[in-house]
Amino acid sequence: MLYRSTRGEEKGISSSEAMLKGIASDGGLYVPDNIYFNNIKFEDLVSMDYKELTCFILEKYFTDFGKEELLECIHKAYDCKFDDKDIVPLIESCGVHFMELYHGPTLAFKDMALTILPHLLKKAVSKINLKKHLVILTATSGDTGKAALEAFADVEGTKIIVFFPQNGVSEIQKLQMITQEGTNTCVIGIEGNFDDAQNGVKDILNNRDFMEKLDKASYMLSSANSINIGRLIPQVVYYIYGYLNLLKNNKIEIGEKINVVVPTGNFGNILAAYYAKKMGLPIARLICASNENNVLYDFINKGTYNRKRELKLTSSPSMDILVSSNLERLLYEISGRDAGIVKGLMKKLEMEGEYEITEAMIRELKDFYSEYASEKETSEAIGKVYRNSGYIIDTHTAVAYSVYEKYVVKTGDNTKTIIASTASPFKFAGTVCSSVGIDIEGFSDFEMIKRLSKATEINIPSAIKILKSKSVIHRNTCRKNNMKLEVEKFLGM
């Protein structure tokens, strides 16, 4: 399988090169030459465990890796760092199946791909015989940063730099990052929002002069953001795994279609579900759930993308995004893989802040459905699920649940449904507590977590418990236009 840029200037790129570069030199994103597989018999895969299934899928996309190499990466990724032996358990509650993607080391779904990415990158480096230090640049809306730090800390031959919006992440998310150990790690709070951080990272990666300067200093920059194809593909796996779980437990019949609801920000997670569908997995509807930053809701319902609005800080901070990077990959597919169209739209987004897609492209969106949940609805969803079933969900998953309820009311569709459950409720204990009626007035985050644990009789995840005893290591902050300078400083240039 070879990769190409969504903006047309690069073709015939190997998967290892696409992963190492992160973003194409024309500013586009790498996509596989083919995402349609019409010969996979999914029912034959039901007996596979998560690792076996991952190997089966990755072998199809990362063809320049040998099976042994892939297996080595997979075993290093999905090990005891996950606190559930199934890696991705599926919990039936309130008439839907919650696919818990948060059992990894940082308690959010980003771990699903970020635990394997460094191992893939290390192999990729040796494949192209790169004699350079790999520098991973990451912008985060809260969860990617910690997952990437955890993944790359003290990995030989790498350095990792994370930029996060200083006032745009939860207390626990922030603590997780600024207490990160590892001599190769650098964490910087920026005065700006996630879009600023992501734009800054993209600008640095697209700055050819700077890349040359780094090259001379024996550094190569890459990104751990979901624009990296090495993150997208491992995410395809759990949709298939979730489907097979339903099949194995006789919840559905062979070939029966399901719906999938995904709380969406940068469009990476739901894009992976779209890829799974294109691979032939029986998915009927892809339901894109937004919070009050509802750009994607407008896009899917009206065909216009407009980022010219105020970014709201919500209780689901990892979805507080106005420019969803991975949407570019969807535009590529729904335009019939027309790089010219994609390039034009992206240019328009950059210059004018908005674009409109053609009628033909809108028709290609027919498998998508989108709604959004207000802050109030999000909180109500947490309370409702808890009261009805004793099951506790985080704020992001609650956005998805709330949207799912609206979808059912509107369409009457009772297709079996998987909701991507993206974070541990303990990461957002404040909102979760107040939503289920636990009094938190005047309590610290750790006290709220304790109260949540007591009320729900769920143990506090150890990744959160240990935060309390850790000291703050990273105190740097910077302006949004000084990100490049910070990179130079950290690399001693």
The stretch near ligand PLP (CB under 6 A) out of 102-110, 242-250, 252-260, 330-338 is 102-110
> Pattern 52-91, binding to ligand PLP, x per CB under 6 A?
----------------------------------------
Shortest CB 295 distance to ligand PLP, Å: 12
* CB closer to ligand PLP, 319 vs 487: 319
Interface residue with ligand PLP, options 112, 319, 330, 432 (CB under 6 A): 319
At which residue do the structure tokens 């985080």 appear? Answer: 394
CA 47, CA 53: separation in Å to the nearest integer?
Answer: 9
Determine contact, residues 392/436, Cβ cutoff 8 Å. Answer: yes
CA 337, CA 346: separation in Å to the nearest integer?
Answer: 14
**Residues of this chain, 266-295, that bind ligand PLP according to CB under 6 A:** 266-269
170 binding ligand PLP? (CB under 6 A): no
Shortest CB 329 distance to ligand PLP, Å: 12
422 binding ligand PLP? (CB under 6 A): yes
Shortest CB 132 distance to ligand PLP, Å: 29
Q: How many residues sit close enough to ligand PLP to count as binding (CB under 6 A)?
A: 17
Determine contact, residues 419/404, Cβ cutoff 8 Å. Answer: yes
User: Of the listed 110, 174, 202, 277, which one is catalytic?
Assistant: 110
Interface residue with ligand PLP, options 263, 425, 430, 461 (CB under 6 A): 263
Q: Tell me the torsion sign for CA atoms 196, 100, 15, 147.
A: positive
Which residues, at least 6 apart from 349, have a Cβ–Cβ distance to it below 8 Å?
A: 305, 307, 323, 355
CA 68, CA 50: separation in Å to the nearest integer?
Answer: 16
- Give the C-alpha distances (Å, rounded to integers) separating 441 from 145, 296, 347, 437, 447: 29, 34, 48, 11, 11
Determine contact, residues 325/227, Cβ cutoff 8 Å. Answer: yes
- Which value, to the nearest 10 degrees, does the dihedral of the CA atoms of residues 448, 454, 457, 462 take? 60
- Tokens, residue 268: 């990476």
Task: Estimate to the nearest angstrom the gap between the alpha carbon of 189 and the chain centroid.
Answer: 20
CA 86, CA 71: separation in Å to the nearest integer?
Answer: 17
**DSSP three-state, residue 158:** strand
300 binding ligand PLP? (CB under 6 A): no
Shortest CB 113 distance to ligand PLP, Å: 10
The stretch near ligand PLP (CB under 6 A) out of 60-68, 207-215, 261-269, 436-444 is 261-269
* CB closer to ligand PLP, 19 vs 113: 113
108 binding ligand PLP? (CB under 6 A): yes
370 binding ligand PLP? (CB under 6 A): no
> Pattern 201-240, binding to ligand PLP, x per CB under 6 A?
-------------------------x--------------
Interface residue with ligand PLP, options 125, 148, 423, 478 (CB under 6 A): 423
The β-bridge relationship of strands 3-5 and 219-223 is unpaired
The stretch near ligand PLP (CB under 6 A) out of 196-204, 213-221, 262-270, 373-381 is 262-270
The stretch near ligand PLP (CB under 6 A) out of 119-127, 130-138, 257-265, 440-448 is 257-265
110 binding ligand PLP? (CB under 6 A): yes
Determine contact, residues 101/273, Cβ cutoff 8 Å. Answer: no
Helix axes 50-61, 229-248, angle to 10 degrees: 130
Shortest CB 423 distance to ligand PLP, Å: 3
CA 350, CA 27: separation in Å to the nearest integer?
Answer: 12
CA 152, CA 115: separation in Å to the nearest integer?
Answer: 9
Q: Is 410 considered catalytic here?
A: no
Interface residue with ligand PLP, options 16, 264, 314, 417 (CB under 6 A): 264
161 binding ligand PLP? (CB under 6 A): no
Which residues, at least 6 apart from 82, have a Cβ–Cβ distance to it below 8 Å?
A: 103, 104, 105, 111
Shortest CB 269 distance to ligand PLP, Å: 4
Task: Estimate to the nearest angstrom the gap between the alpha carbon of 88 and the chain centroid.
Answer: 15
Determine contact, residues 53/45, Cβ cutoff 8 Å. Answer: yes
The stretch near ligand PLP (CB under 6 A) out of 57-65, 103-111, 275-283, 440-448 is 103-111
CA 465, CA 462: separation in Å to the nearest integer?
Answer: 5
* CB closer to ligand PLP, 319 vs 346: 319
> Pattern 385-404, binding to ligand PLP, x per CB under 6 A?
-----------x--------
- Supply the residues annotated as catalytic: 110
- The residue ranges that bind ligand PLP (CB under 6 A) are 108-110, 143, 226, 263-269, 318-319, 396, 422-423
